Structure 1
């Protein structure tokens, strides 16, 4: 009876799944309940606060070797009695969710900061705040046998620019593309590296 109930819920539309997510509290207990809730909660972009225990339990499964972590997380998800008839659901549990290194949330993706160093040339007046390794021509140089004071000489410097990584991890992409998830993540910045004064840190939104 439990297998039929869980399978039918997970195979229906995801909005219906989340509307009926309380089935676990009535039918299941312990890690079995948490496993079913984790499947639901990891797969939706409209995650209620009640998901916190199952998410914490899932990502709390960790071993020295990543292969052991994957196996243990897969075993945990398979505690949910969904049956083996639904191939798409089996792929979601055993291949997509079990390979998630982190939770695919906008808040996490926005912590994936990339930095790149650029070598620049220009006038001294163009050097931005925060520039490094600044080298300028001597401000006193000879021009037609006369000493000339050049207050805005040519310079070289380096700039460290940043951006939020615009590329989804493969496991997040796989999650978004699965037919049983409604997870949507959008990158709302351009992919240019920016100076600190121009750098936007909230590029990913759900």
Structure 2
């Protein structure tokens, strides 16, 4: 009798844990979808600042898409660069 009761409790526990894991996974997917829907497209200085940061992070030779952003960076006065790059949201 103890074995049957123990087996039943174990089976119910495993079922409850599995159901809880599936519910948590659904919540995570829902949160990820909400974040994806709330993503905004950057424009203006914020976009340019982010492009410059990405281009500066390139390993080796930057891709051709980086020519314009890096030209903008190099045309700035050195003391204005940190303030401009701070326009890229984190």
Q: Count the aligned residue pairs.
A: 52
Q: Which has the higher helix share?
A: 2
Question: How far off its partner does 1:60 sit?
Answer: 0.7
1:53 aligns with 2:56: no
Once the two structures are TM-superposed, the CA of residue 48 in structure 1 deviates from its matched residue by: 1.4
| Structure 1 residues 119-168: Cα deviation after superposition (integer angstroms, max 9, x where no partner) | xxxxxxxxxxxxxxxxxxxxxxxxxxxxxxxxxxxxxxxxxxxxxxxxxx
Normalised TM-score (structure 2): 0.50
Higher strand residue share: 1
Aligned pairs for 1:39-78 (under 5 A) are 39-46=53-60, 47-62=62-77, 69-70=78-79, 72-78=80-86
Q: C-alpha displacement at 1:53, in angstroms?
A: 1.3
Q: Please say if 1:36 is aligned against 2:50.
A: yes
> Which consecutive residues of structure 1, in runs of 5 or more, have no partner in the other structure?
6-25, 63-68, 83-206
| Residue ranges of structure 2 left out of the alignment (5+ in a row) | 1-34
1:175-194 aligned within 5 A: none
TM-score normalised over the length of structure 1: 0.23
Runs of 4+ in 1 over 3 A off after TM superposition: none
